[in-house]
Structure 1
């Protein structure tokens, strides 16, 4: 039951953010990359792919869309000319305020009726489950 409930929460979270960000024409993966960049700017494409456990091609596609929309820049790494570093543009930084507000509103809505202790307990348990999930799949990592 737990996995089903987590799946429902995740799907509704995606729907909520998509509806709230309609005017920006951002896909969910683009939103996630922007959120990642807001905390890890600048990074390379490999770092994004590794964090989300997705292939580099999917990341490249999302980054191209974000670049076309003016939210990110790709610059050659001065220390390694074969690598491109990705960072938020001023327009990308600006949209983060809206995205943070939406995330805060979502948390307020889903945590309604819970006390802070319940929320902290839930976050601790979820964090452990996420770490265990990562450990479980790493055993079968491609060589």
Structure 2
């Protein structure tokens, strides 16, 4: 049972909705922001690499890149290793977007934590650090433990299905 009642997800969704609303006013949609942040963290990446890592369609990514370039958030350079592809880089304006997004998130979290005392905020931060570290370690190893639990759950569900069908078919 999830004792958090998905509260971490709900808080993250609230922050994301607020941030996306403000970013849209700056002319960058959520999908474009994902692409821009990836390019910012991986300067010199290619369209193919971007699509593979973000698991997005090449056509959609190409449109987002063109839009971001038109808006001045990124630039392309010829790839010296492969004349057919281009290397992608965030511009100064693109770098500033990350700072803007981070600032918006900080504002939201500061507001969110106002009802808590300093001691409560510090305890929450300490507990979140433990959970975040566990999440990071699992993600770095490509989610083996969570995947295993999911597969076990799927197996149990599949084993129960034939019995359920038999009972209904009698």
TM range (shorter): 0.7 to 0.9
Displacement over 6 Å in runs of 4+: none
Q: Is the 8 A contact 1:71 1:89 kept in 2?
A: yes
Q: Is the 8 A contact 2:15 2:105 kept in 1?
A: no
SS at match of 1:73: strand
Q: Paired residue for 1:63?
A: 65
SS at match of 1:87: strand
| Contiguous gaps of at least 5 residues in structure 1 | 137-143
Bigger strand fraction: 1
State how far apart, in whole Å, the 2-side matches of 1:7 and 1:54 are.
Answer: 23
State how far apart, in whole Å, the 2-side matches of 1:4 and 1:87 are.
Answer: 36
> 1:79–1:18: structure 2 CA closer, same or farther, 3 Å change rule?
same
Greater relative contact order (CA < 8 Å, ≥ 6 in sequence): 1
Q: Paired residue for 2:143?
A: 132
Asked which structure has the greater CA Rg, the reply is 2
RMSD: 3.0
In the superposition, the TM-score normalised over structure 1's length comes to 0.74
| Contiguous gaps of at least 5 residues in structure 2 | 148-170
Q: C-alpha offsets along residues 17-56 of structure 1, whole Å, 9 cap, x if unaligned?
A: 1122233121101112222222221211122222222222
The Cα shift of 1:15 comes to 0.9
Aligned residues: 137
